[in-house]
Amino acid sequence: MALLNASNIRSQAAQSLQLIAFEGQSSSDVLAHIEFENPSDTSLFKAIVLGACRYFQRLEALSHLLLRKKFKPKDQDLLCLLIIGLYQLEYSRVPDHAAISETVNACRLLKKDWATKLLNGVLRNYLRQQEQLNQTLDNDWETKFSFPEWLINRIKPHYKGQVEQILEQSNQQAPMSLRVNLMKTSREQFCVALDDVGLGYQQHPLVDSAVILEQAVPVQSIPGFAEGLCSVQDVAAQLAAQLLAPATGQTVLDACAAPGGKTAHLLEFTHNNLRLDSVDIDPQRCYRIQENMERLELSAEIHAEDALIFMQSKAEHYDAILLDVPCSATGVIRRHPDIKLLRRSEDIAELVNIQQRLLAAAWQALKPGGKLLYATCSILIEENNQQIDAFIHQEINARLLDLPPELSAISQSKLGCQLLPGTQNMDGFYYALLEKQA
């Protein structure tokens, strides 16, 4: 991978945003292949791209207010560059003069010198009309919160009085949360190590393995990370092992498992004493599971297979199953703002169908008396409580188990647990714990 110099930050950001917003590539795939000579430039580059994704709907609408006529399709890179310039002026700490001059210079690197005066004028015009333009954008929820209209319309009927909070929380920068490996150390001992290197943190009250850092840092600077004393994982995701709570020696399946955080936590929870199958359809992502297992010194059977086909061959085989199904990911937009650009309304019905099929296959693979934890990182009821409600009415031997009272107290659903983004500093997640009656 060739390292780029600082002069390429904005032009590369524009090209990356174009791949995400107009060509449907995920930000994680796009950003994984780009690095700058100076690590701080890489951080700035990623912050600009992800920030532009976070506020894309608002900034695109703003560009339409400022331009006399839209850019042609062949100039989508210029539109993305303008959006990046507007993002810096409105949301970043980059000084206005630097944001404008660097954005204009990026025109030349994109070989579109003709647009330098245009971008310079538009950005300066925005600064002159900033207050008035922002008031105009705030009159519409789609541009006020920078959310696609279809998603707002899906949220509105089910979260009355909470919609603005959900949208605002989804636009916040998510904290860096750690899962302490309680097989190797205690949370108290780990926090002493954080104190020793001056990293501020909070211990989470709901999950005894969870620590939230006050500021995100490179993993290399976290004490004991390389030795497997901790992993990066949101607190809501850490609830999975705690809720499924497999017993030592059981046969367990983690379906749709990559990148392996929940697989690892299940093993840490039982001191690496499970017969655990970790399944994911993507071989590259299975490689990441293996990397996690090696760093944490854990053992699992990793299968690069379609979880549906895999489970259909395992009738009544497992004591416990974690089914973290593919979903809309609408609960983790604060971590992955490109979801607002990539997801479409028509995707939901297809995802619901996949979830139904996976749930049915998992149920057949579960032993009588076994437990299945259904999980999504979604806030859409079609994927969550409606899915579970239909399932327990269909399967007469399915019993929905109660969740801990401290979770029920913050749940937005009486059927399972629906967490909204930002609740106790967690991502949006849904859990339902089912028992297969003999």
8 A C-beta contact, residue 333 and residue 141: no
Instruction: Assign 229 a pLDDT band (cuts: 50, 70, 90).
Output: very high
Is the pLDDT at 1 greater than 90, yes or no?
no
Whole-prediction pTM value? Answer: 0.95
Binding residues for S-adenosyl-L-methionine: 256-262, 280, 306, 324
Vertex 409 angle, CA 375 and 412, to 5°? 55
Is the pLDDT at 106 greater than 80, yes or no?
yes
Q: Residue 275 forms beta bridges with which residues?
A: 251
Alpha helix ranges (H) inside 24-115: 27-31, 39-54, 56-66, 76-91, 96-109
Q: What percent of the chain has pLDDT over 70?
A: 100
- Does residue 377 carry a catalytic annotation? yes
Other C-beta atoms closer than 10 Å to the C-beta of 320 total 22
Instruction: Assign 2 a pLDDT band (cuts: 50, 70, 90).
Output: confident
pLDDT of residue 195: 97
Comparing CA positions, the residue from 343, 340, 329 lying closest to residue 143 is 340
SS3 content of the chain, % helix, strand, coil (to 5): 50, 15, 35
Binding residues: 256-262, 280, 306, 324
Q: How far is CA 60 from CA 147, 224, 347, in A?
A: 12, 43, 23
Cα gap 219→232, rounded to integer Å = 8
As to burial, measured by CB atoms within 10 angstroms (0-12 exposed, 13-18 middle, 19+ buried), residue 76 is middle
Comparing CA positions, the residue from 209, 253, 252, 270 lying closest to residue 234 is 209
Residue 397 token pair? 């031997």
Report DSSP state, residue 404.
P
Alpha carbon 158 to its chain centroid, in Å, reads 22
In the chain, what are the domains? 6-140 (1.10.940.10), 176-232 (3.30.70.1170), 235-436 (3.40.50.150)
Q: What integer is the mean pLDDT of 23-40?
A: 94
Q: 261-269 vs 283-296: helix axis angle to the nearest 10?
A: 30
Strands 275-280 and 251-255: parallel
Q: Which residues contact 359 (CB under 8 A, 6 or more apart)?
A: 323, 325, 374, 387, 391
Q: What is the largest CA-CA distance in the chain?
A: 74
The kind and range of the H/E element at 130 are helix 116-137
* pLDDT tens digits, 307-317: 999 999 999 99
Q: Tell me the pLDDT of the chain averaged across its residues.
A: 96
Instruction: Assign 438 a pLDDT band (cuts: 50, 70, 90).
Output: confident
Q: Which of 107, 286, 327, 377 is catalytic?
A: 377
Other C-beta atoms closer than 10 Å to the C-beta of 288 total 15
* pLDDT tens digits, 120-155: 999 999 999 999 999 999 999 999 999 999 999 999
Q: What integer is the mean pLDDT of 15-32?
A: 96
Is the pLDDT at 53 greater than 80, yes or no?
yes
First CA to last CA distance, the chain: 56
Cα gap 375→358, rounded to integer Å = 12
Cα gap 300→261, rounded to integer Å = 12
